């Protein structure tokens, strides 16, 4: 018999265990052991770990691990409909924004959108070098017929980054104001940052249809919003205590302090967070192509699926180019702000 029989007997739980004795499905290991003709117990370990599967052999009341994972799934499915009713309308604008941006970026003729983006770069970065590099990158992408997909990727990043900043900065401010809220948020942010991205794609697929663009929008935002929240919180907490004290001494209200002192002084840090957020949403956009996000990621995916080496590599280079473009532009903007903030 199984190893842990004695334990349940000793605890007087035998009757409780056997109350509804119907044997659980056999595990793969059992099946293999049977097929091999050997006795399961004989080939087992001397002192097996008291895992759910091993305990189940001695006591049917205890579920197997497969029941455990099945229960998680059932539990999620049970609350799914309720969750959907709340989340669907809440996130619907995201779909509209993503679709709208996609439409805007792809239907505008290249001779309008490309100069416009280059002009925007110059406006933000104020650096000839960066502007020239951006222009070159777009021309190169156009030359290898990847401009459309690159613009699709870019449109997704624009929408997701803007929303991340719009949601992340207020969250960061709230975190900086309340230690309790900060303690609550930090584990959540750690979780979002470390949880493999595929893992939260699965429940999202259950919740939303794969054809809806908000599915990948949410996945990207969840992944990319973390740095901007963290660095907003950090930036505000790092603001010189003396200056805050001066603001208090001159009778500033909380609002005045936020807009006149804290946000301006935290801006370099916040911008560093925005830069990170842009880079992370770009990284996620490739994975999001698994759930129908258009853009360069789709080509990378095709490269993997069909083992089309060239397609994959060219799309990969396109993504690198986009990454460098976005990084240099946002960094140039950041250093421009830093210059205005020279602290003595």
In the complex, minimum distance from the CB of residue 271 to other proteins, in angstroms, rounded to a whole number:
13
b/e per residue, 71-106, with b = 16+ CB within 10 A? Answer: eeeeeeeeeeeeeeeebeeebeebbebbbebbeebe
Provide the 8-state DSSP code for 64. P
Token duo for residue 205:
């697929």
In the complex, minimum distance from the CB of residue 93 to other proteins, in angstroms, rounded to a whole number:
34
DSSP 3-state assignment of 134? helix
- Residue 109 near other proteins by CB under 8 A: no
- Binders of other proteins: how many residues, by CB under 8 A? 21
In the complex, minimum distance from the CB of residue 319 to other proteins, in angstroms, rounded to a whole number:
36
Q: DSSP string spanning 18-50?
A: HTT--PPPPPHHHHHHHHTTS-HHHHS-SS---
CB–CB of 338/268 below 8 Å?
A: yes
- Residue 316 near other proteins by CB under 8 A: no
First to last CA, the chain: 78
In the complex, minimum distance from the CB of residue 77 to other proteins, in angstroms, rounded to a whole number:
48
Half-sphere exposure of 103 (CA within 13 A, CB side): 7
CB–CB of 312/271 below 8 Å?
A: no
66 or 177, CB closer to other proteins? Answer: 177
In the complex, minimum distance from the CB of residue 304 to other proteins, in angstroms, rounded to a whole number:
48
DSSP 3-state assignment of 78? helix
DSSP 3-state assignment of 307? coil
41 or 240, CB closer to other proteins? Answer: 240
- Residue 243 near other proteins by CB under 8 A: yes
38 or 246, CB closer to other proteins? Answer: 246
Residue with tokens 């100069």: 115
- Residue 240 near other proteins by CB under 8 A: yes
71 or 256, CB closer to other proteins? Answer: 256
The binding track of 198-237 with respect to other proteins, each residue x by CB under 8 A or -, is: ----------------------------------------
27 or 260, CB closer to other proteins? Answer: 260
56 or 269, CB closer to other proteins? Answer: 269
20 or 179, CB closer to other proteins? Answer: 179
Helices (H), 59-108: 65-107
CA atoms of 91 and 79, how far apart (whole Å): 18
In the complex, minimum distance from the CB of residue 260 to other proteins, in angstroms, rounded to a whole number:
7
143 or 249, CB closer to other proteins? Answer: 249
The binding track of 250-289 with respect to other proteins, each residue x by CB under 8 A or -, is: xxxx--x---xx--xx------------------------
CB–CB of 239/266 below 8 Å?
A: yes
Q: DSSP string spanning 268-290?
A: HHHHHHHHHHHHHHHHHHHHHGG
Classify burial at 10, counting beta carbons within 10 Å of its beta carbon; exposed 0-12, middle 13-18, buried 19 or more: exposed
- Residue 242 near other proteins by CB under 8 A: yes
Those residues whose C-beta lies under 8 Å from the C-beta of residue 227, and which sit 6 or more positions away, are: 273, 276, 277, 280
Extended strands (E) in the chain? none
The piece of 61-69, 223-231, 243-251, 317-325 that touches other proteins (CB under 8 A) is 243-251
- Residue 305 near other proteins by CB under 8 A: no
Among positions 143, 199, 249, 309, the unique one binding other proteins when judged by CB under 8 A? 249
- Residue 335 near other proteins by CB under 8 A: no
Provide the 8-state DSSP code for 123. H
Site residues (vs other proteins, CB under 8 A): 240, 242-243, 245-246, 248-253, 256, 260-261, 264-265, 340-344
């Amino acid at each position: 018999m199984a190893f842990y029989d004695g334990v349940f007997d000793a605890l007087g739980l035998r009757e409780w265990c056997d109350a509804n004795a119907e044997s659980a499905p056999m595990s793969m290991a059992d099946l293999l052991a049977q097929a091999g003709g050997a006795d399961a117990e004989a080939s087992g370990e001397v002192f097996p770990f008291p895992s759910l599967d091993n305990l189940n052999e001695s006591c049917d009341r205890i579920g197997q691990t497969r029941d455990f994972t099945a229960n998680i799934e059932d539990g999620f499915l049970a609350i799914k409909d309720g969750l959907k009713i709340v989340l669907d309308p809440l996130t619907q604008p995201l779909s509209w924004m993503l679709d709208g941006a996609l439409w805007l970026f792809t239907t505008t003729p290249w001779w309008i959108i490309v100069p416009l983006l280059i002009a925007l770069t110059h406006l933000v970065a104020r650096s000839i070098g960066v502007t020239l590099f951006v222009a070159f990158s777009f021309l190169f992408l156009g030359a290898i017929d990847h401009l459309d997909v690159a613009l699709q990727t870019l449109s997704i990043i624009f929408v997701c980054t803007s929303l991340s900043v719009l949601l992340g900065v207020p969250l960061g401010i709230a975190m900086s104001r309340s230690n309790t809220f900060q303690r609550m948020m930090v584990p959540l942010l750690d979780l979002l940052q470390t949880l493999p991205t595929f893992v939260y794609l699965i429940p999202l697929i259950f919740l939303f249809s794969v054809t809806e663009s908000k599915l990948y929008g949410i996945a990207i935002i969840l992944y990319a919003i973390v740095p901007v929240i963290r660095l907003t919180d950090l930036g505000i907490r790092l603001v010189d205590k003396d200056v805050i004290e001066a603001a208090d001494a001159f009778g500033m209200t909380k609002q005045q302090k936020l807009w006149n002192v804290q946000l301006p002084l935290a801006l370099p840090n916040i911008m560093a967070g925005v830069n990170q957020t842009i880079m992370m949403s770009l990284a996620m956009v490739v994975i999001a192509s698994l759930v129908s996000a258009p853009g360069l990621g789709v080509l990378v995916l095709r490269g993997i699926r069909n083992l089309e080496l060239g397609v994959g590599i060219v799309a990969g280079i396109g993504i690198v180019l986009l990454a460098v473009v976005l990084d240099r532009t946002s960094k140039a903007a950041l250093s421009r702000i830093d210059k205005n903030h020279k602290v003595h």
